[in-house]
Structure formats: structure tokens, C-alpha cells
A and B are shown apart, each in its own frame.
Chain A
Amino acid sequence: MNDLEDLYREIILDHYRNPRQRGELPTPPATRAEGFNPLCGDEVVVFLQVEGDRLVDIRISGQGCSISQSSASLMAAAVKGKSLPEVRRLIATFKAMMSVHGTALGSDADGEEPSGEAEDASGIVPVDLDSLGELAALQGVVKFPVRIKCATLSWNTLAQGLDELAAAR
């Protein structure tokens, strides 16, 4: 597989063309969080519906490249219905995969760690690819360091929404 095919895997292109959980939720009761990638103007809006300890629904709107949009779609499909601690764990695992230090992957990434991602990755987190399911399709992004911000945009926005929710409680 060449790098480009590794980046644009079929699953990714599928989620880009047919995004899951696309749309909005009424706020309130839902929480709305917005994220921007100032470099390319991509934006993502995440709507979260939390009941008790569970993320019962999520919707995504916004616009952007195939990586940011498919990552958002894959994320939405993966986190919907999960408990908040599970969602947090998934965010951490995904971001660890998106860090070049995710050496546990045996990745042959040759890119530099983009600043700003290092702290998020909090050193070397062993990445359990199996726990990521379809999301593992995004690991090819690591070979394209400029695109990591595209892949993590929706995840950072989701984390930000959860933080706001926790603070409001």
C-alpha cells in the first residue's frame, strides 16, 4: 500500500461521502461545541446529548477535508451510546494513535511530532488498536504530520464539549 492509499483508505472515503450522525440537536437540552482549524478554515460543530453518565446521542455539522470529516463521522459512530468514561478513554486512545510517539503501533512514521500534540499524547500511551475498531483506519494519517490536526479536530471539540458539560454540572 502506498502512503496515499494508506491515508485515504476505503473506510475513510466512505465516511467522507456518507457521513454518519450528520446534523444538529436542539440546544438545550443538547450541548454544542465548536472547533476550528485555523490553518485551513475547517470547522466542526459537535452536538452532545448526555443523560446521566451516558452519551446517548451525538450529531456533527461543519465542513472540511476528507480527513476531518471522516474522522468526525467515525468518531460519532464510535462514541454514540457509550458511557462518559468510555468516551474519554476512546478520546485518549485515539489521540495517542495520532501521536508520532505511538510507537506501540510499530509505525514507520518519519514525521516530526507537531508541537501541541505532544502534551495531549501525555508521553507514550500503549495504543490498543483493537479497541479502536474502524477508527484504526485513520492511523495512516500519522505519516502526514500536517494532516494530524485535521484528524484530531472533532475529537478535541468533543473533549471540549464534555469539559463544558462537566463544568456546568
Chain B
Amino acid sequence: MAELTARSDPRAAELDVAAIKRDFPVLAERFRGRRLVYLDSAASAQHPLPVLRAQEHYYEHAHANVHRGVYALAERADQLYERARLTVGRFIGAPDPAREVVFTKNATEGLNLVAQAWGRRHLRPGDVVVVTELEHHANLVPWLMLAEERQLELRWLEIDEGFRLDLSRLTEVLRGARVLAISAMSNVLGTMPPVAELAEAAHRAGALVVVDGAQLVPHQPVDVGSLGADFLAFSGHKMCGPTGIGVLWGRAELLAATPPFLGGGGMIKDVRRDGFVPDDPPQRFEAGTPPIAEAVGLAAAIEYLQGIGLDRIAAHEHHLTAYALERLQQRFGRDLVIHGPREPEARGAVLSLAYRDVHPHDLAQVLDQAGVCVRAGHHCAKPLMRRLGVAATARASFYLYNDEDDVEALADALASAGSLFG
């Protein structure tokens, strides 16, 4: 696999993207005779062979339901599932991986779990939840739902002209707050707020910090301790893992003080006619048969990414983003607007594009003709789109398997959109 091709000092070596591309079967697909230029990893990443093989291997050799079987096969499934939990926990620096990692369906479910289970138990009418203008609906709507039910006060951290969070009123906004719900990287602008700094301020104000890590965790090394998170949610499918699995990490004592979210099998110690005793975390939050094969696939994805090195992936994406910002600017000048921080250091690898007055839907359609996959729409961040004054953007995003040729393909395709809509 690709990691073996790294040179002697793997930290310093650039990624061998050609070798990495070969690990991803779908990247060899051709559409209308053209190679696939996949620039939509922010929506969902592609899968390398080790992930596909791990899941296949699980189904061929180890599948049974977890937690209930005494036979050897079930024990295998159990072991793989719990080992996956440890792999995930270590990946994000969880102090107590066995107890703090909850498998969910996706990042969205993890954030809903925090709002619906922790929030509903601990928040009272008038309590303040601080959200940011950068949020994806996944870290917004659950709080809006709870605010409606519990008469919470929602306060907003807004963005400034440079597409960063405006922190000038931070102390005021956080005063008396119980929760700071914040995305560690915007899926529209690429903005990466200083989460650690904000978490410190939030903690001083007595608020818990709920981090939406859906965009950050796949792309750079994350340590929940240095991030200052109390809860962190992310999705498997954005980090080369399967769909149908996500992770909610929570500090052990917080999870212990959180009532169940969904009820059913696997999450109880006892059930009587008149009540039940919930199990301890993380099982308390995993009602019903969990996504076992997906957990195995996610662990394989993490091992694949670690084999290459998250710091190297981050450096590669940083380089590619800087290259793309410069190249596109050079080639299209004022015809192309890229919503998001100008400085490549301060942003992740997503580029929200506005090309002349070509509607993003039309732009994405023309790019598709060249095999270039970008996403057009509001990216589930309508308050942010409103703030930007646009209904939609066309978003290109990069991952470890993208290279400068992909950026050139994007640029060429943009040029052809220009001539069509002239």
C-alpha cells in the first residue's frame, strides 16, 4: 500500500499521490471517457482497498451479533467491534477509549445525542447556548429544536470580513453560557476557528464545549485534550470509512451524567415492568444492533490514514489549497470569487466558488461533463449562506488522493463553463 512507498523520513516526505490514488479503486473509474476528478471529499470521502477488504473480511470470517453470543464466532465479532472502539479512541487521544467512544450513525446523530440526552437533562429555560455562524445544520438544528422545547437562549458568534469568527465580543457572548457548540472547520469556507482558545474561554465562563469535528478530524491530527472539547462528534464516511457509522466522544464523567438517547436492546442493565436501569457508557448510548462491520471498516480507515500520517496529509492539503488559491486566482482573476479566508494557513481544503454569474448548479453540471465532481448548493449551512449573501456555492474540496493535476482539471473545466455561459 501507499505508505510503504514513503521515503526514509516519512514525516518530511511529500505524499506519493499517484500511489495513494491506486489504493482507491473508484478513482480508476472513467466517466464519459474521462478520469474521475473527485473534489467532493468534504461531502463524503472515497474508500481505499484496506477499508473495503477489512469489511469484506469481517463478513466472510467474523460476523455475528455483538454483546450477546457465547460462541467463538460471536466472540470474534465482539473483539473486532471493541478493538475498533479503542482504535478510534486512541486516534483522537481519548483518555479512556473503552468508556468514552460511542458509535453512532454519523456526526449528526452524535450532536443530536448531546442536545437531546445531555441537553434535555441538564439545560433549563433561559439557559444560554452559544453557536456560530459557521455551523452546519447538524450542530445548529438540534440546538434550535431544544431551544424551542426548553426556551433556551441562543447566542451567535458571527464571522468578520476575513471569514473568521469575530471574537471581539467573545466574553460578552459567553457570559453565563452553558454550552458552546462550535465547528472545528467550516464545510463551506474552510475556516478553522481557534477551538482550543475558545474552549478555554468557554470553560472559564462555565460552558461545555461541543465540537463538530466532521471536517477537522479526517484532515489533521486531533487530540481531544488539547482541543479542549467536552464532546466531539464526527463521521466515518468523511475519513475514508464506511457510511452508517459516526463517533461521539465525550468526557467520561459527562457521559456518565447523560441519560440514554434511544431505548432498546443492548443499552440496559435491567428491565422490569415498571422501569429500567440503563447500562454504563458507552453501551448506554448504543441501543440495538450497532454498525459492526462499519466499525471494523472505520478502524481500518484510521489505520490507513495513520499509516500515511495525519500530519503529512494535513501538510499535503495545505500545500494543495495554497496552490489552488494561487492558480485559480492567476487564471481567472476577478471572474472567480472564493468565499473563505485568503491565507492558506488559516483554512482547510475546501473552496467555495462563485464563477462570474454562473449559477453553482450550472457550474457543477458543466464541471461534471469534464469528470470533475464538485458540490453545488447551500451545504447545509443556510445561516452562513445568508450571511454571505448567496443562495448557493459550488464547492471543491481536497483530500489525500488529490493533486495538482486535479486542480488543473478544475481550472480547465471552469474555463469551459465560462465559454458556455459566456
Contacts and interface: CB of A to CB of B under 8 A. Distances in A.
Interface of A: 2-4, 7-8, 13, 39-43, 63-67, 144, 147, 150
Interface stretch (B10-18, B222-230, B356-364): B356-364
B11 to A, nearest CB: 42
B129 to A, nearest CB: 25
B361 A67 contact: yes
A42 B359 CA distance: 10
B378 interface: yes
Nearest to A41: B391
A3 B370 CA distance: 12
A51 to B, nearest CB: 34
A61 B187 CA distance: 30
Contacts of A67: 361-362
B391 A7 contact: no
B365 A42 contact: no
Nearest to A38: B378
B232 interface: no
26 contacts: A4-B366, A4-B420, A8-B362, A13-B421, A39-B377, A40-B360, A40-B361, A40-B376, A41-B378, A41-B382, A41-B385, A41-B391, A42-B391, A42-B392, A43-B391, A64-B361, A65-B359, A65-B360, A65-B362, A66-B362, A66-B421, A67-B361, A67-B362, A147-B361, A147-B365, A150-B361
B209 to A, nearest CB: 30
A89 B377 CA distance: 32
Nearest to A4: B369
B189 to A, nearest CB: 17
Given A40-B391, A40-B392, A7 B377 contact: no
A33 B281 CA distance: 51
Interface in B355-400: 359-362, 365-366, 369, 376-378, 382, 385, 391-392
A7 B392 contact: no
Q: Interface extent on B, as a size class?
A: 10 to 19
Contacts of B376: 40
Contacts of B391: 40-43, 63-64
Nearest to A17: B421
By secondary structure, the A interface counts as mixed
A38 to B, nearest CB: 9
A65 B366 contact: no
A142 to B, nearest CB: 14
A32 B369 CA distance: 37
Contacts of A3: 369
Nearest to B366: A4
B365 A4 contact: yes
Nearest to A64: B359
Contacts of A63: 391
A63 B359 CA distance: 10
A97 to B, nearest CB: 19
A8 B362 CA distance: 9
A76 B378 CA distance: 27
A67 B361 CA distance: 9
A41 B359 contact: no
Given A66-B362, A150-B361, A41 B377 contact: yes
A66 B385 CA distance: 20
Contacts of A41: 377-378, 382, 385, 391-392
Given A40-B377, A42-B391, A65 B361 contact: yes
Contacts of B377: 39-41
A45 to B, nearest CB: 14
Nearest to B358: A66
Given A41-B391, A144-B365, A8 B420 contact: yes
B386 to A, nearest CB: 10
Given A43-B391, A64-B361, A66-B421, 11 more contacts: A3-B369, A7-B365, A8-B362, A13-B421, A41-B377, A41-B391, A65-B359, A65-B360, A65-B361, A65-B362, A66-B361
